[in-house]
Amino acid sequence: MDSKINSETIVAHYSSKQSTITIGHGIFNFLVCLLPYSKWDVIGAIISDRVYLLHRQTIDDSLQEINACIKGYDDTEYNKSYAYAENYFNYLLHNQFSRKSLLIGIGGGVTTDFTGYLASSYMRGIDVVYVPTTLLAMVDASIGGKVAVNIEAGKNIIGHFHQPDYIIVDTGFLTTLPVEEWQCGMSEAIKHAIIGDSSSLNLFLKREVSIGNVNESLYHCVKNSVCFKANIVEQDEFEKNIRSILNYGHTVGHAIESVFHYTLSHGEAVAVGMLVESYISMKMGMPQEDFELIKELLLYYKLLPNISFSTSDIIDHMQYDKKNIKGTILFVLLEKLGKPVIGKEVPGTLITEALNYYLTMV
């Protein structure tokens, strides 16, 4: 721990740049100490409207110290769009942002994704800092440099790889997090645990991490997840190989989101995806006890939504998945807990069977 601000720092080394991740509780109050703010000519913050409403005084005080201008953002998946971004590009131009400027995204994964897309596109790329305020954004969305916006056909179709220069992970923001947002973050943290973050898996199996409880176990879970994902991205920054394991649960999950027009949360959709893809994994050789453990975790944390859908609609939307090659739907599956495999082709009948299994159990 840093003796001055009670934090820990992880430095991720990517081919494109170095990304410094600082984790602690209450550390956003020390933003002026965490960023070399004098290196940028103009600093702007894109802030989730919901987060600003809850933490306005803290945010204003910290941003005032680094002379940052503020722009609000209604952080819905609908507004994470190519068309919606134009207003923000005009805002940057009006406020004389240059290639030496900085954008700070403060909010959940939608906000950091949208801010990253703006930063990656404006004048062919400017620096960006993330302050994730949800569990989902802390353990997943803010790490790795994938930034994107949605179009009608699907989620995250338009985007870039653009690594953040700094990420400030302040677990203090979680004290005001709604239950449904906790569940979203739990989905991604459990995903990491299932595909290889054994330290967090142990915490979940012992039920040491609980929804709404910002304690030491949660802190370690966040840190474990951050380290796990950053390590994977260091090995494969542009998702040519091993990084694809992070898409476990997402082939079905993204299709679910699209079919439901983003009315389900990302965490709920991924939880559905994890159960369905784990069922497929079991049918293709994963031990049944591993499947039962995964199902038990998802049920214990109440992550599986009670929904109904057309299996053919879900399969149709899977055609847009970025992992597909020449129209063939490819999955990340599990040989066993902690051993994911990428690029697996699955018979259509088994996909339908797995989706129907979900419908019968909820």
> 71 catalytic, yes or no?
no
Residue 282: CATH number of its domain: 1.20.1090.10
- Structurally, the chain folds into a number of domains equal to 2
Instruction: Looking at the structure, tell me whether residues 161 and 275 fall in a common domain.
Output: no
Q: Is residue 31 part of a domain?
A: yes
Instruction: Looking at the structure, tell me whether residues 243 and 355 fall in a common domain.
Output: yes
Q: Is residue 314 part of a domain?
A: yes
Instruction: Identify the active-site residue in 50, 155, 192, 229.
Output: 229
Instruction: Looking at the structure, tell me whether residues 128 and 251 fall in a common domain.
Output: no
Based on the number of CB atoms within 10 Å of its own CB, is 288 exposed (0-12), middle (13-18) or buried (19 or more)?
exposed
* pLDDT for res 2: 44
Instruction: Identify the active-site residue in 50, 254, 323, 344.
Output: 254
Instruction: Looking at the structure, tell me whether residues 286 and 157 fall in a common domain.
Output: no
Residue 324 has pLDDT above 60, yes or no: no
Instruction: Tell me the average pLDDT across 209-213.
Output: 94
> 254 catalytic, yes or no?
yes
* End-of-domain residue from the set 177, 196, 211: 177
For residue 65, the 8-state DSSP code is H
More confident position, 258 or 108: 108
Calculate helix-pair angle for 198-205, 179-195, nearest 10 degrees.
130
pLDDT in tens, 10-60: 999 998 899 999 999 999 999 999 999 999 999 999 999 999 999 999 999
Q: Is residue 313 part of a domain?
A: yes
To which residue do tokens 């079905």 refer? Answer: 252
* pLDDT for res 321: 62
Instruction: Looking at the structure, tell me whether residues 268 and 154 fall in a common domain.
Output: no
Instruction: Looking at the structure, tell me whether residues 168 and 265 fall in a common domain.
Output: no
> 155 catalytic, yes or no?
no
Q: Is residue 111 part of a domain?
A: yes
Measured CA angle at 31 (ends 142, 267), to 5 deg: 25
Q: Is residue 351 part of a domain?
A: yes
Instruction: Identify the active-site residue in 80, 162, 181, 188.
Output: 188
Least confident of 104-118, 278-292, 313-327: 313-327
How far is it, in rounded angstroms, from Cα 211 to Cα 186?
A: 8
> 188 catalytic, yes or no?
yes
Instruction: Identify the active-site residue in 266, 317, 323, 344.
Output: 266
Q: Is residue 104 part of a domain?
A: yes
Instruction: Identify the active-site residue in 191, 223, 243, 323.
Output: 243
* pLDDT for res 4: 55
pLDDT in tens, 95-115: 999 999 999 999 999 999 999
* End-of-domain residue from the set 145, 177, 209: 177
Q: Is residue 218 part of a domain?
A: no
> 266 catalytic, yes or no?
yes
Give yes or no for a contact between 168 and 105, defined as CB atoms under 8 angstroms apart. no
Q: Is residue 280 part of a domain?
A: yes
The contacts of residue 244 (CB under 8 Å, 6+ apart) are 236, 323, 332, 342, 343
Instruction: Looking at the structure, tell me whether residues 39 and 151 fall in a common domain.
Output: yes
Instruction: Looking at the structure, tell me whether residues 144 and 27 fall in a common domain.
Output: yes
Instruction: Looking at the structure, tell me whether residues 130 and 276 fall in a common domain.
Output: no
**Domain interval for residue 92:** 7-177
* End-of-domain residue from the set 177, 212, 229: 177
* pLDDT for res 35: 97
Give yes or no for a contact between 343 and 330, defined as CB atoms under 8 angstroms apart. yes
State what percent of residues in the chain have pLDDT above 90.
Answer: 86
Instruction: Identify the active-site residue in 4, 94, 124, 206.
Output: 124
Instruction: Looking at the structure, tell me whether residues 17 and 163 fall in a common domain.
Output: yes
Instruction: Looking at the structure, tell me whether residues 13 and 159 fall in a common domain.
Output: yes
How many residues are present in the chain? 362
Residue 128: CATH number of its domain: 3.40.50.1970
To which residue do tokens 């694809």 refer? Answer: 244
Instruction: Looking at the structure, tell me whether residues 164 and 30 fall in a common domain.
Output: yes
> 56 catalytic, yes or no?
no
Alpha helices in the chain (DSSP H): 31-34, 49-65, 85-94, 109-121, 135-136, 179-195, 198-205, 216-235, 250-259, 266-283, 288-300, 311-318, 348-361
pLDDT band at 3 (very low <50, low <70, confident <90, very high): very low
Instruction: Identify the active-site residue in 77, 181, 237, 239.
Output: 239
pLDDT in tens, 168-180: 999 999 999 999 9
